[in-house]
Structure 1
Amino acid sequence: MATATKRLNKELRQFSSIPSSCCSAGPINDDMFNWEGSIQGPDGTPYAGGLFFLRLTIPSDYPFFPPKVKFTTKIYHPNINGSSGEISLGVLKSKWAPSLDIRKVLLNIILLLSCPDPDDPLEADAATLYETDRKQYDKTATEWTRKYAMNHG
């Protein structure tokens, strides 16, 4: 656990010292194993303009095992479960490596928003729509982004 805490403190300092406009993350209530992250919807996608929040649960044997990451903002996407927020992404499973860090995980999730993988869906309906009627898929994803990920002020 000491290794994980040391590594997480280092990553947290990096988020502070090198802020990114596309993503951020940090511990919830000073709990180094429970973080909240946020990502900006990438330009040129139905998610553009949206701010999406994620919950990261970090195992005590991190970085040897990946964090569990779930969207807390509802999102319409083939690889993200609309109700649980679970994400189907290689770097969170078999493609994890200790050289990855939380920032790289968030950047991979942004990339997934830009390039869905309909062959590995968690939401079969969204995957089918993505492949058969991209215009309708984009419309639905844009509506969800407006409804759930944009500031309603």
Structure 2
Amino acid sequence: MAALPKRIIKETERLISDPVPGITAYPDEANLRAFTVTMNGPDSSPYEKGIFDLELYLPDDYPMCPPKVRFLTKIYHPNIDKLGRICLDVLKDNWSPALQIRTILLSIQALLASPNPDDPLANDVADDWKKDEPKAIEVAKEWTAKYAKAKE
């Protein structure tokens, strides 16, 4: 495996020494471009008390292209599909090499706090959200309790 760029080493060191509140991200020992991420559901969101597992991968052309991130924990969210893929502008068209892993993780956490059914990846969930938001929030809470190792 090629040596890691200094930027990835620096970002990794900072993630470990100065973690983002509610998020842990550790590189895989076998592949330092692959991270195991644990994210707490934001307070006052349907995902509160949930602990979500994600995987984050830095492609060879990072930071010129965004990291690949997906949820491993099942989640009921209009912007996250059944495969865990995330619809988030900074992971696609609004990516900038100035962004860092921690910025992306904070953006994903913010997306959990404020789902956007008008830019869905999971159309069925977005439709539910638009038709009956209180019911959709209830389902999101149920899924969080069932799949996201929710803490009491």
Map of 1:102 onto structure 2: 101
Map of 2:59 onto structure 1: 59
Residues in 2 aligned to 1:111 and 1:30: alpha-carbon distance in whole angstroms? 30
Unaligned runs of 5+ in 1: none
Structure 1 residue 38: Cα displacement: 1.6
Which residue identity lines up with residue 22 of structure 2 in the other structure?
C
8 Å CA contact 2:56, 2:69 repeated in 1? yes
Give the aligned CA root-mean-square deviation in angstroms. 1.5
Structure 1 residue 128: Cα displacement: 1.3
Change over 3 Å in CA distance of 1:101–1:33 after alignment to 2:
same
Residues in 2 aligned to 1:91 and 1:62: alpha-carbon distance in whole angstroms? 13
Map of 1:87 onto structure 2: 86
Q: What is the identity percentage for the equivalent residue pairs of Structure 1 and Structure 2?
A: 45
Residues in 2 aligned to 1:146 and 1:44: alpha-carbon distance in whole angstroms? 14
Unaligned runs of 5+ in 2: none
Map of 1:129 onto structure 2: 128
Residues in 2 aligned to 1:44 and 1:99: alpha-carbon distance in whole angstroms? 30
8 Å CA contact 2:144, 2:150 repeated in 1? no
Aligned residues: 150
Matched, 1:20 2:20: yes
Residues in 1 aligned to 2:150 and 2:45: alpha-carbon distance in whole angstroms? 18
Structure 1 residue 5: Cα displacement: 2.6
Map of 1:31 onto structure 2: 31
Residues in 2 aligned to 1:43 and 1:11: alpha-carbon distance in whole angstroms? 26
8 Å CA contact 2:20, 2:102 repeated in 1? no
Report the TM-score when normalising by structure 2. 0.92
Change over 3 Å in CA distance of 1:151–1:143 after alignment to 2:
closer
Query: Which SS does the other structure have where 1:36 is aligned?
Result: strand
